[in-house]
Amino acid sequence: MISTLTFDVTRQGLLDISAELSTVVREAGLEEGLCTLFIQHTSASLLIQESYDPSARRDLESWLNRLVPENDPFYTHTLEGPDDMPAHIKAALTASSVSIPVIAGELALGAWQGVYLWEHRHKPGRRRVLVHLT
């Protein structure tokens, strides 16, 4: 089964998509299997990360922004603004897909794990995530 989740993003950062994903898994009735996610964009990514303490997410965002700064004079891909090329680099350094086992009808995430769409652009937009359940 393949579903598409659509998210309206308003800013750069981590967006928790765990609840929407859990709903897709429950509604599919899959008891055991694999849930694979794929984001259909080159300037956003997917991540499984701590869901308990928001400071962990803020630290990740800050660290990646320091690693891949905007307005680097070596960028040549600048037509879409100063955040575009850094967004592509950030997406290349992170993941465009993740897989999560499904056990007893639920995502087999750890107690403190959440699934995140990581938006790397500043401008609002719409992002599509394919969900493949097998």
- Encode pLDDT of 64-86 as tens digits: 999 999 999 999 999 899 999 99
Nearest to 116 by CA among 50, 48, 55: 48
The pLDDT value given to residue 82: 94
Q: What is the mean pLDDT of residues 1-25?
A: 97
Work out the number of other CB atoms within 10 angstroms of the CB of residue 124: 10
pTM for this model (two decimals): 0.94
- pLDDT tens-place string over residues 93-132: 999 999 999 999 999 999 999 999 999 999 999 999 999 9
Taking only the tens place, the pLDDT of each residue in 19-51 is: 999 999 999 999 999 999 999 999 999 999 999
CATH topology of domain 2-133: Jelly Rolls (2.60.120)
Put the strands of the sheet holding 113-119 in their side by side order.
Answer: 13-16, 113-119, 44-50
State residue 93's pLDDT score: 97
Delimit the domains of the chain by residue range: 2-133
In 1-134, DSSP assigns E strands to 2-9, 13-16, 32-39, 44-50, 97-103, 106-107, 113-119, 125-133
